[in-house]
Each structure stands twice: as C-alpha cells, then as structure tokens.
C-alpha cells in the first residue's frame, strides 16, 4: 500500500475485530511500537473490548500500514502522523474520527460551531468586564446545555487559553482571569465528586509538582479520565513529596500524572521519577506521565525527562493516559503469577476475610442503602421495605461466599460464570452492573481497612482485586449489551 486513496479507505469496515498481535502480524509493526505510537501520538486509537483489551478494524490496519510505509521512506513517525491527520482533515469523503473522549451519548445534542463560538465570545466579554453574575449565568448555561466533553474540550479549554493570553498582554484584568478560574474550578470539582462510576480496575493519581499552583488543566484531565471509568485520586496543587513513596506503595496506582507549569519546578519531576522507580523495584510499576506549559515553552527539556510526556492537548492527553493505564494494568502481573499466589496465600486470605465478614458486609449493606435507595423496589409488591433490606444485606454476603470459593479453590472464573448465570434473575429486582461494581469496590476497601494487607502481598492483592472487578464487569456487561440491543 504505497499510496493511500481516501475514497478506498472510506469503504473499509471500521468495526473492531483484530487484537494487537493480529494487527502486528498484518502490518509488520511490532506490538511495542504500536503501543508506543498510541501512547506518544494518540494513533492508532483502537476500540476496547469489555475486558479492556485493544481491538482494531480493517481501517486501522490500512492506516498503520500507511504509517509504516512512510517511515520506511525516511519520514519520522511524528511527521507521518501529522501528514495523515492533515490528509484526513482535508478529505470530503472520510472526515476525521473524533477522539473517544469527545464521543457523545445518543441522548446528547451536538452544539453547532456557531453556538460554541458564541458561548466563548460571551464568556470572554463577561470576564473582561468582571461581570460576576453574567459570567456565572453563562457558565451554568454551558454546563447545562452542552455535553460535558464538549463543554470541556470545545468551550472551556480554548476559553481559558484565551483568558491567559489576554491577561499576559494586559487586555484583561487579573480579576477577570481569577473569576473564570474560580467558576471553572468549582464546577470541575463538583463533577469530580458527584460523577464517580468506576468501570476500570485501574487507579490514577493526579497532582501538581511541589509549589506548583496551576492545577486547572490537570483537573480537567482528571475529570475526563474519571468519565472513562478510572478511579481518580486528585491531589491538586502543590503536591507534597513527603510520604509520596509510601502513598504509591499503599494505593498502587497504575499511573501518576504530574503537571508542571513553571520552569523552576522541573527538577521536582526528577525527584518524583526517583520515587516511582524505587517502588517499581518492589513490583509496583507506576507509570509517570507529565505535561504543562513549562515543556511547551522549553521543548528541549523533553529529551532529558523521564516518564511519558502527554502533550498539552486535553483530548490527546486523555487518550494517551487511558491507553497507558491499560498497558500497566495488563502487564503488572501475569495470570500464572497470580494463580501461584492464590495457591500459596488463598486459604490464609479466605480466613482473614471470614474473620471480618460481618463488619465488612454490614458496611457494604449500609453503603448500598445510602447510595442506591431505589435498589430492590419492585412494582406491585405491597410492602417493599423488608424485601429491600434483604437485598441490601444478602447481596454483599453472597459476594463474600463467592470469594471464599475463589480463594480456597483458586478458581477466579467462578465469578464470571456465576454472574452470567445470575443475570437471568438479578435484573428483575432492579440490580444493575453499577450496583455490583460499587459493591466490589466497597467490599475490598472495607476488608483492607479491617485486616490490612501484608507488604509482601500488596502487588498480588491489587492484581486480585483487578481480576475480580474485571470479571464482574465483563460478565454483567454482557447482559447490558444484550438488553440494549433488544431495546
């Protein structure tokens, strides 16, 4: 495929069908290179299976082949990707596919470019005039009328860039800049707290370098990553390095995201890298990613920096961190190693879980009742209260009993098989995938608090949690797909 014709490319199916090994064999690009291209340049951007694995289409295969031919001709990969994106943007037949982070739900209405431009202009006018009431009204209108990803990527990101430029050149008073920052931060923090739906067993920590106060871009990135289903711990501005190593060991995140806006804070990134390297020697393998205006102004620094630079484009950065988190989770510990640990430590852990059973299941039951008061409400049942109480109490206990089988018999697949069978019954009582994933999260959190996890077990225990969560997610997700298609 020496020359790509876009009209031919448009005819290729875009449905996912190949895993990463298959596309590597078809294109001649090895697996590690494909992952590196995706991490550094946001391309290719594969679909993800229910279990989180990459899946590629015929169109992806053709595009990767085209990139390989360009690099064979002496073009650098970054230049080849830029050229490809330019060609796609110019094509009237095959418009560029938007990043996954900007895909809207079917119920959402896509605002026009005119509406987006009008919103930005009106907000800039209100901030320039330091008109608090008008700025607040416009912020609320955008947040309520636009899908979240559109509001972030198409309105607020370019808005705050322009606000910063106007403040620098003296055409906007610092009070207007502070007003915009405050309104946006309040909304972002509110969304980060209220829109938690963990569907990936991967934790990500986000924080600014020590003494770094500019956390708005990092906060937007954290929210977009949380929208993709990751568990986010947002440390915000001025992240303390004291105790960071212990925090990484205790929480075992897949990725640590660090923002650096001022050049004087760059050396702290090297210190943070030393900390992630120290925990990696103990098997924790935390990926360090970074971005910020310091590297936009001084790109020569990138050659000397450890970790992964994610750029300053919010959509691209989100895709790169999401992909990298999946890589770390997939490669942290193999199935064989986890099986060996379960054989050695499974019965011991089952005894510990049994000791803390009543308190843990009671805690989970209370959380279910608090967060999901509608759970178990069955239309037509004359008195649903006792029935709901039974669901709140019995659901975590049955999960506990299932884990006893898994730990004592070293049979992880029991979880997936049981939940696939149970979906014939559970949805009748209003139980959804969200309820079960929350239950898994709260169960393990309570168990860790009550029994503690020995240092030698920490890495395997985190992998065990991830394996359990993935199986619950995968098995119950099948039901959701079937019912959605039927509807």
Residue 73: the pLDDT is: 80
- 344 & 396 share domain: yes
**Does 126 score more than 80 pLDDT?**
yes
Segment 64-90 mean pLDDT: 78
- Domain-embedded: residue 103: no
- Domain-embedded: residue 435: yes
Residue whose tokens read 């169960």: 443
- 352 & 427 share domain: yes
Q: Are 306 and 349 in contact (CB under 8 A)?
A: no
- 306 & 370 share domain: no
- 211 & 304 share domain: yes
* 399: nearest Cα among 432, 429, 369, 442: 442
**Does 387 score more than 60 pLDDT?**
no
Segment 37-52 mean pLDDT: 74
Write out pLDDT tens, residues 134-189: 899 889 888 888 888 889 999 999 999 899 888 888 888 999 999 999 999 999 99
Whichever domain contains 320, its CATH number is: 3.40.50.280
Q: Domain boundary at 162, 195, 228, which?
A: 195
**Does 97 score more than 50 pLDDT?**
no
Alpha carbon 484 to chain centroid, angstroms: 23
- 481 & 373 share domain: yes
**Which of 44-53, 125-134, 243-252 is predicted least confidently?**
44-53
- 175 & 218 share domain: no
**Does 98 score more than 70 pLDDT?**
no
**Does 378 score more than 90 pLDDT?**
no
- Domain-embedded: residue 340: yes
- 412 & 281 share domain: no
- 299 & 175 share domain: no
Domain of 68?
6-97
- Domain-embedded: residue 418: yes
Residue 487: the pLDDT is: 30
Write out pLDDT tens, residues 389-424: 677 788 889 889 989 999 999 888 888 888 777 766
User: Any bridge partners for residue 234, and if so which?
Assistant: 206
Contacts of range 121-124, beta carbons closer than 8 Å, 24 or more positions apart: 123/155, 123/159, 123/180, 124/159, 124/162, 124/163, 124/166
- Predicted TM-score of the model (pTM): 0.53
- Domain-embedded: residue 102: no
- Domain-embedded: residue 1: no
- 271 & 161 share domain: no
- 361 & 427 share domain: yes
* pLDDT tier at 96, thresholds 50, 70, 90: very low
* 203: nearest Cα among 275, 259, 272, 252: 252
Segment 33-61 mean pLDDT: 78
**Which of 214-218, 323-327, 352-356, 368-372 is predicted least confidently?**
323-327
Write out pLDDT tens, residues 212-254: 988 999 999 999 999 888 889 999 899 988 888 888 888 888 8
Residue whose tokens read 């205790």: 250
Segment 79-91 mean pLDDT: 71
Q: Domain boundary at 329, 347, 363, which?
A: 329
Q: Domain boundary at 195, 225, 246, which?
A: 195
Segment 48-76 mean pLDDT: 80
| Cβ neighbour number for residue 249 with a 10 Å cutoff | 18
CA distance 317 to 304: 20
**The dihedral sign for the CA sequence 384, 385, 390, 392:** positive
Residue 372: the pLDDT is: 81
State the total domains in the chain.
4
- 164 & 277 share domain: no
- 166 & 248 share domain: no
- Domain-embedded: residue 211: yes
Whichever domain contains 50, its CATH number is: 1.10.1660.10
Instruction: Return mean pLDDT, the chain.
Output: 79
């Amino acid at each position: 495929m020496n020359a790509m014709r876009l009209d031919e490319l448009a005819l290729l199916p875009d449905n996912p069908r190949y895993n990463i090994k298959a596309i590597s064999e078809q294109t001649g690009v090895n697996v590690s290179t494909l992952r590196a291209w995706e991490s550094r340049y946001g391309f290719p951007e594969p679909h993800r299976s229910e279990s989180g694995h990459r899946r590629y289409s015929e169109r992806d295969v053709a595009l990767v082949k085209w990139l390989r031919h360009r690099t064979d001709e002496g073009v650098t990969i970054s230049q080849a990707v830029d050229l490809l994106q330019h060609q796609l943007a110019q094509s009237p037949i095959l418009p560029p596919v938007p990043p996954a982070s900007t895909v809207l739900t079917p119920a959402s209405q896509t605002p026009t470019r005119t509406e987006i431009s009008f919103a930005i202009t009106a907000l800039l006018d209100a901030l320039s005039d330091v008109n608090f009431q008008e700025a607040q009204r416009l912020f609320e209108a955008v947040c309520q009328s636009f899908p979240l990803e559109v509001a972030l990527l198409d309105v607020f990101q370019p808005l705050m860039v322009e606000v910063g430029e106007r403040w620098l050149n003296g055409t906007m008073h610092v009070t207007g800049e502070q007003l915009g920052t405050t309104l946006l931060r309040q909304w972002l923090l509110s969304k980060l707290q209220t829109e938690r739906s963990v569907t990936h067993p991967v934790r990500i920590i986000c924080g600014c370098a020590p003494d770094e106060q500019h956390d708005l871009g990092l906060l937007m990135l954290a929210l977009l990553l949380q929208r993709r289903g990751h568990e986010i711990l947002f440390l915000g501005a001025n992240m303390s390095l004291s105790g960071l190593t212990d925090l990484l060991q205790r929480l075992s995140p897949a990725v640590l995201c660090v923002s650096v806006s001022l050049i004087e804070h760059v050396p702290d990134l090297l210190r943070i890298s030393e900390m992630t390297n120290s925990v990696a020697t103990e098997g924790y393998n935390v990926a360090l990613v970074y971005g910020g205006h310091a590297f936009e102004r001084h790109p020569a620094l990138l050659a000397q920096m450890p970790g992964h630079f994610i750029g300053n484009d919010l959509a691209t950065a989100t895709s790169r961190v999401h992909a990298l988190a999946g890589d770390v989770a997939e490669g942290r510990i193999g199935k064989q190693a986890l099986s060996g640990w379960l054989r050695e430590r499974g019965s011991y852990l089952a005894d510990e879980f049994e000791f803390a059973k009543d308190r843990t299941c009671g805690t989970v039951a209370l959380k279910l009742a608090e967060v999901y008061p509608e759970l178990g409400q069955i239309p037509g049942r004359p008195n649903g209260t006792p029935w709901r109480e039974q669901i709140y109490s019995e659901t975590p206990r049955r999960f506990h009993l299932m884990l006893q089988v898994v730990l004592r018999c070293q049979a992880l697949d029991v979880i997936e098989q049981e939940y696939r069978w149970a979906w014939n019954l559970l949805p009748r009582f209003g139980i959804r995938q969200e309820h079960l994933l929350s239950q898994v999260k709260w169960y393990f959190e309570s168990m860790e608090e009550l029994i503690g996890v020995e240092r030698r077990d920490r890495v395997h225990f985190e992998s065990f949690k991830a394996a359990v969560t993935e199986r619950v997610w995968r098995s119950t997700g099948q039901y959701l797909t079937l019912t959605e298609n039927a509807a």
